[in-house]
């Protein structure tokens, strides 16, 4: 039987010390339930060190990524304030194993959001929406993992940066998104790539967190999922994600 506390210590230490580790599945594949239990226990270790839960991230929000992993649902991870990067800040590459960045949208909730919920009800719980980016940094060697590995490793979530919050009267179903590195376009996409409509990601987030006994709370952030492929980060990068009608968000990468 999987030793949940020990596996949580391994992934948490790897994240904290920016160490690449061998896939947990190399010893024994984790069940879906056990992998989420490891994730939960690793986040509890962060909370015990003083970090505060601030929301969730949604992963595998494109059909292509689900098919690639052989699953038919999204995965999710937990966000803490320790993962938050201020818009315009410089991160240190040394704090990560092999980070990649993906352009996203973020929701800020003004009401608790349980399950079941309709898309209309979910939107009514949203205070604001913002351009955002997620830094994913699988702690596994060579960024290789199976489904249990990646869930245990908090769905690769490592950092997130959020731009100016905007009122939700903008139609977010098909907004152009441009992620630039040092002023050059690196990824171009649309918010429609997030499950066809990012609100679906919010609804799925409400379902998955309620099923885990941690329903979404007022004040929490929901990272909706990547709109394009992720890009590797290097020292000297200035990365900006501009979202049509919502504005832009940026950060730099230092040593
Ligand atoms: O946020 C995501 O969709 C990525 C989930 C984890 C898989 C990966 O690290 O690529
Ligand atoms: Mg993401």
pLDDT digits (tens, 9 = 90+) for 42-78: 999 999 999 999 999 999 998 777 887 788 889 999 9
The residue whose CA has the least distance to atom 3 of ligand 1 is 59
Q: How far is the CA of 136 from the centre of ligand 2 (A)?
A: 7
pLDDT computed for residue 66 by the predictor: 81
For the chain, the domains span 4-254
With tokens 């352009």, the residue in question is 103
Identify the CATH assignment for 4-254 out of 1.10.8.640, 2.60.40.420, 3.90.850.10, 3.20.20.70: 3.90.850.10
Q: Is 60 in the pocket of ligand 1 (CB under 6 A)?
A: yes
Ligand 1 atom closest to 134 (CA): 1
In the three-class reduction of DSSP (H, G, I as helix; E, B as strand; rest coil), residue 181 is classed as: strand
Q: Is 195 in the pocket of ligand 1 (CB under 6 A)?
A: no
pLDDT computed for residue 237 by the predictor: 98
Q: What is the mean pLDDT of residues 134-162?
A: 97
- Going by their DSSP bridges, the two strands 184-190 and 176-181 should be labelled as antiparallel
How many CA atoms within 13 Å lie on the side-chain side of 126? 30
Q: Is 150 in the pocket of ligand 1 (CB under 6 A)?
A: yes
pLDDT computed for residue 30 by the predictor: 97
169-201 per-position pLDDT tens digit: 899 999 999 999 999 999 999 999 999 999 999
- Going by their DSSP bridges, the two strands 221-223 and 53-59 should be labelled as parallel
Tell me: pLDDT of 230 over 90: yes
pLDDT computed for residue 87 by the predictor: 98
238: which strand partners?
A: 252
Q: How far is the CA of 254 from the centre of ligand 1 (A)?
A: 23
Residue 7: other Cβ atoms inside 10 A: 24
Residue 72: other Cβ atoms inside 10 A: 9
11-33 per-position pLDDT tens digit: 999 999 999 999 999 999 999 99
pLDDT computed for residue 235 by the predictor: 98
Q: Is 55 in the pocket of ligand 1 (CB under 6 A)?
A: no
pLDDT computed for residue 1 by the predictor: 78
- Residue 66, judged by CB atoms within 10 A of its CB (0-12, 13-18, 19+), counts as middle
Range list of H helices, the chain: 4-17, 32-48, 63-69, 119-124, 147-152, 198-211
Residue of 180, 184, 187 lying closest to 239 (CA atoms): 180
Residue of 71, 45, 43 lying closest to 214 (CA atoms): 43
Q: Is 194 in the pocket of ligand 1 (CB under 6 A)?
A: no
Tell me: pLDDT of 101 over 80: yes
How many CA atoms within 13 Å lie on the side-chain side of 248? 13
Ligand 1 atom closest to 60 (CA): 3
Q: What is the mean pLDDT of residues 3-18?
A: 98
Q: How far is the CA of 124 from the centre of ligand 1 (A)?
A: 28
Please say whether the beta carbons of 61 and 74 come within 8 A: yes
Can you state the percent helix, strand and coil of the chain, rounding each to 5?
Answer: 30, 30, 35
How many CA atoms within 13 Å lie on the side-chain side of 203? 17
Q: Is 136 in the pocket of ligand 1 (CB under 6 A)?
A: yes
Please say whether the beta carbons of 13 and 38 come within 8 A: no
């Amino acid at each position: 039987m999987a030793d949940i506390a020990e596996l949580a210590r391994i992934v948490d230490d790897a994240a904290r010390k920016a160490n690449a580790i061998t896939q947990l599945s190399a010893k024994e594949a984790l069940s879906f339930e056990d992998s989420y239990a490891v994730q939960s226990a690793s986040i509890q270790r962060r909370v015990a060190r003083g970090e505060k839960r601030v929301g969730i991230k949604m992963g595998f929000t494109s059909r292509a990524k689900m098919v690639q992993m052989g699953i038919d649902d999204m995965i999710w991870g937990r966000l803490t304030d320790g993962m938050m990067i201020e818009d315009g800040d410089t991160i240190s590459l040394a704090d990560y194993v092999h980070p990649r960045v993906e352009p996203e949208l973020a929701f800020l909730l003004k009401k608790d959001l349980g399950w079941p919920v309709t898309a209309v009800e979910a939107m009514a719980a949203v205070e604001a929406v913002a351009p955002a980016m997620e830094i994913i940094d699988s702690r596994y060697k060579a960024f290789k993992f199976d489904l249990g590995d990646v869930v245990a490793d908090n769905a690769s979530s490592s950092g997130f940066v959020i731009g100016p919050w905007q009122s939700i009267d903008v139609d977010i179903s098909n907004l152009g998104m441009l992620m630039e590195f040092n002023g050059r376009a690196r990824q171009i996409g649309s918010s429609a790539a997030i499950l066809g409509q990012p609100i679906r990601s919010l609804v799925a987030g409400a379902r998955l967190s309620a099923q885990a006994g941690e329903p979404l709370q007022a004040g929490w952030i929901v990272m909706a999922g990547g709109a394009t492929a992720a890009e590797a980060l290097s020292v000297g990068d200035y990365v900006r994600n501009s979202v049509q009608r919502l504005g832009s968000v940026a950060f730099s990468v230092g040593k």
